[in-house]
Chains A and B, each alone.
Chain A
Amino acid sequence: MNFDDTPQEAAFRAEARAWIQANAPKQYEEELRKSSLGRTVLKDANILEVAKAWQKKKADAGWACLHWPKEYGGRGSSPIERVIWQQEEGPFGKLSGMFIIGHGMCGPTMMAFAGEEQKRKYLPPLASGEKVWCQLFSEPAGGSDVAGLRTRAEKKGDDWIINGQKIWTSGAHYSDYGILLTRTDPTVPKHKGLTMFFLDMKSPGVEVRPIKQASGQSDFNEVYFTDVKIPDSQRLGAVNDGWNVSLTTLMNERMSIGAGVSTGFPELFDFCNSLMLEDGPAIEDRNVRSKLANYAVKASGLRYTSMRAISALSKGERPGPENSIGKLVAGSMVQEVAMYALDLQGAAGVLSGPEDAEVAGKFQAMLLRAPGTRVEGGTDEIMRNIIAERVLGLPGDIRVDKDVPFNKIPTKGRA
């Protein structure tokens, strides 16, 4: 048991470190390091431009999408090299936020299902960040039950005509392309009538509207499709086989390994170290210490769990299922941490303006953003189902709509 690199890993790390040292946008390092939980913003620069510039620079030197094949804009690296890169990239990795969906989900789906010519055309600019992609799956009627989606694709000559609405699409407002899951046959059970496409987000009939979230911010969008035309050549996988295609997309969720998940603990620990309560420093209060210790072991437990996964990668093994707990634990922990940090401030905890609030209102912002973290990318409940079914081998839920034609499934609860 050790934390040492193999000689090969050490050589790769040294090379990566030297290149980052020489090329990273250092003027933003401090700001990026301090930003946490959800929203990364830069005071004097447009973060999208900074992010795109950094991604392009990496791509030109062969450091983008490391694990992708070279001919598609990657480096052909091993999984462990990718993790080492993420460790070395450190705070600059936060600039990759806008590319996560494209690189983590759209790219792998294209790689598995697009034609060779398309891959060579679309993947390199996706890797270099010149083109940004989004994923159009969730709908008002299909969130956790994504196979319940209703956006229609109807064949007309060599084209498909799309009508419907997507929701919770991250980054649709700055995306150039998207992968789109549609219903092509409503007369068969829901999983059997779906088809996947990719499309140009600038196509006529595509309308992107930002969602104002409960937090007051807008990170997501609704996307409306009105008679949008997609050529059949942009279909991914067979007609009505879209569910299987989407599983490929959703299986490519290894991104979190090595990148780490935010728990809010380091911020809370620092806060308690400096906060004065009536009877003295917060960190000397018995109740505070008990709470902190409980959060501390969750945070360290997640950190070492991801190290176990990295170790498996280093040995050329597939990581075990342990990493599936990350999002579930971190999501609700961020929320609890935020509530506790406000509790420690007493009545003044309600104040959220940067000039009045402790730590410039970081915990208040965390509180208001936290409900979303427990829902996006799989709700806590869906994550528990996944652990129970795929890790513990418990039976799947009994699905009453499994064998019912999609257009016969009830759409209303209480009348």
Chain B
Amino acid sequence: MNFDFSDEQKQMRDAARKFLAEKCPPKAVREVLDGKAAYDKQLWKGLAEMGFLGVAIPEQFGGAGAGHLELCVIAEEMGRANAPVPFSSTVYLAAEALLLAGSDAQKQKWLPKIASGEAIGTLALFEGKGNPSPKAIKLQASGGTLSGVKKPVPDGAIADFAVVAARTGSTGRDSDISLFLVDLKAGGVEAKSLTNIDPTRGQAELTFKNAKAEPLGAAGDGWSILTQVLDRAAVLLAFEQVGGSDRALEMGRDYALDRIAFGRPIGSFQAVKHILADMYVSATLARSNCYYGAWALSTNASELPEAAAAARISATQAFQHCSKNNIQVHGGMGFTWEFDCHMYYRRANATALTLGSLSYWEDQLIDRMRKKNAA
């Protein structure tokens, strides 16, 4: 049994950590947090140069052709650094959708641009409140154009193209939904930035008015493709969450070692130690669930749907738990804008919702476990 990343993959993780420590210090994250830029363009360019944007994209489409385990270790570091770039929307959602369902021409058109950092992509799925559901998709497709409103769309205001879920039927079945590729710069789409709890990852409203669109995958296959894309993205995003959890735990630990109160480091008080121990527990459970998700993702195992849901739930819980208690350990200072704690708290709570909320994934997990049990 080798339920671990290989030495080469660990080296890649170290390289990514080193690169991000240098190019993405908290100061850089704050540029975006404070609204001085929509995302960190220099960092985005650097990630492309390092080959990180196309790590799981096959060489024939301009990527490094490494694989998804390699992408997982990079995702972890993106989360640890709180990187203010459209990595998850472009790489986990748009690129994965193209890899799963794109025609050769579509892949040829967009994947090399993703790998080189020239194109930002996203998935336009949600239409207001609610979790992923075919019933919630109202945006209409007709005659090769789309009309309707999508929000929130992650990184929608800076994206060059979007994978859009649209209604192509009215039978009440999943097959009413189809996916489309839309060049957001080609006219017919209006993007409006929306204020959100984590300004380091933008959210937008996209209004489609007879926007030109080409089908992605077969008509009526939209929901089935989406489900797979969301599962794959769930594993990758879970690695970001684990990276963020670990960082929040380290910040709390370091502060507890340095801060003196009542004449001793606060980390010597059991009340504080136990908070940190529980953070370690949740981060460890999440990491282990993520490893299983990584294995399932990289081997396309039939266990992927269940593994993805478990990784998603566990990592969401861990990041929320670690980021909120990191603030608690910091006391008043943790609640200042100046300290970095709130950046992780924001990211944790935004990430908890972006692919559908915790309760949605809980539901999914039990459905999938039941199916496996029945089989």
A253 at interface by CB-CB < 8 Å: no
For the complex, would chain A's binding face be called helix, strand, loop or mixed by DSSP majority?
helix
B363 and A304 contacting across the interface, CB-CB below 8 Å: no
Q: B1-21 interface mask toward A, CB cutoff 8 Å, 1 = contact, 0 = none? A: 111111000000000000000
Query: Which of A170-178, A211-219, A309-317 is the contact stretch?
Result: A309-317
A1-B273 in contact given A393-B253, A394-B267 (Cβ < 8 Å) = no
For the complex, give the distance between the alpha carbons of A146 and B269 in Å: 21
B3 and A304 contacting across the interface, CB-CB below 8 Å: yes
A307 and B1 contacting across the interface, CB-CB below 8 Å: yes
Using Cβ atoms and an 8 Å threshold, which residues of chain A touch B256?
Answer: 394
Contact partner, A388, options B273, B287, B289, B317, Cβ 8 Å: B273
Q: Return A13 CB to nearest CB of chain B, in Å.
A: 11
A297 and B289 contacting across the interface, CB-CB below 8 Å: yes
A75 at interface by CB-CB < 8 Å: no
Using Cβ atoms and an 8 Å threshold, which residues of chain A touch B361?
Answer: 293
A: interface residue count bin: 35 or more
A350 at interface by CB-CB < 8 Å: no
A329-B273 in contact given A290-B359, A394-B256 (Cβ < 8 Å) = no
B221 at interface by CB-CB < 8 Å: no
A392-B276 in contact given A1-B294, A325-B281, A381-B270 (Cβ < 8 Å) = yes
A389 and B273 contacting across the interface, CB-CB below 8 Å: yes
- Chain B residues 233 to 288 lying within 8 A of chain A, measured CB to CB, are 249, 253, 256-257, 264-265, 267-268, 270, 272-274, 276-278, 280-281, 284-288
For the complex, give the distance between the alpha carbons of A394 and B249 in Å: 12
Contact partner, A300, options B267, B289, B370, Cβ 8 Å: B289
For the complex, give the distance between the alpha carbons of A303 and B292 in Å: 10
A395-B3 in contact given A301-B288, A385-B273 (Cβ < 8 Å) = no
For the complex, give the distance between the alpha carbons of A387 and B273 in Å: 9
For the complex, give the distance between the alpha carbons of A273 and B276 in Å: 36
B126 at interface by CB-CB < 8 Å: no
Q: Return B167 CB to nearest CB of chain A, in Å.
A: 26
A304 and B280 contacting across the interface, CB-CB below 8 Å: no
B369 and A296 contacting across the interface, CB-CB below 8 Å: yes
A394 and B289 contacting across the interface, CB-CB below 8 Å: no
Contact partner, A322, options B257, B288, B313, Cβ 8 Å: B288
A279 at interface by CB-CB < 8 Å: no
A311-B265 in contact given A296-B365, A394-B253 (Cβ < 8 Å) = no
Give 14 pairs: A residue, B residue, CB < 8 Å, sorted on A.
Answer: A1-B2, A1-B6, A3-B295, A4-B2, A273-B373, A283-B370, A292-B366, A297-B314, A311-B1, A381-B274, A383-B277, A385-B274, A388-B276, A394-B273
Known: A307-B1, A329-B285. 11 other contacts (CB 8 A): A1-B3, A3-B295, A296-B310, A383-B277, A384-B273, A387-B281, A392-B277, A394-B267, A394-B268, A394-B276, A397-B270
